Structure 1
Amino acid sequence: MFFESWAEVIHMNGHGVYVWWSFGVTLAVVVGLVVEPKLKQRQLKRELKQYYRRQEMRSNNETTSP
């Protein structure tokens, strides 16, 4: 193993702040890239469901109108 203890892994000879900060930023970006499309998809499904309900109500109203 390259390091003798977990404290050395975290500290990394004085470079730990930069290494762990960049690791955290990268992780946040990757999580954002995974989560954001899922949220957009959920919103789009909701909007499409509402749209089709409105269209169905319109077509029902047109057929029942004199």
Structure 2
Amino acid sequence: MWNSPAEFFAMGGYALYVWCSFGVCILVMLFEPMSICVRRKAIIQRLRQERLAEQFDKESRK
């Protein structure tokens, strides 16, 4: 039980560990969706390039 906000933020002497853990967790939760979005765009771009290359090959064989 904490009697004051200062005691809450001090976390019984473990504040550095606790708040750094929260910070890392927040960073991961922000980074992961952005990373997925970037990878998704790269995959879509690669698939478009492959489709265009296949179409070009089909046209050049005619």
Matching residue within 29, 41, 45 for 2:41: 45
TM-score, normalised on structure 1? Answer: 0.68
Counterpart of 2:54? Answer: 58
Counterpart of 1:23? Answer: 19
CA RMSD of aligned residues (A): 1.8
User: Percent identity over the alignment?
Assistant: 9
- How far did residue 45 of structure 1 move? 1.0
Take 2:48 and 2:22, find their aligned partners in 1: how far apart are those partners?
40
Runs of 4+ in 1 over 3 A off after TM superposition: none
- Look at both structures and tell me which one has the larger radius of gyration over its CA atoms: 1
Structure 2, unpaired ranges of 5+? none
Take 2:15 and 2:49, find their aligned partners in 1: how far apart are those partners?
51
Per-residue Cα deviation, 1:12-55 (whole angstroms, up to 9, x for no partner): 5xx22x12211110111011000111111111111111110000
TM-score, normalised on structure 2? Answer: 0.72
Structure 1, unpaired ranges of 5+? 4-11
Counterpart of 1:34? Answer: 30
Report the number of matched residues: 54
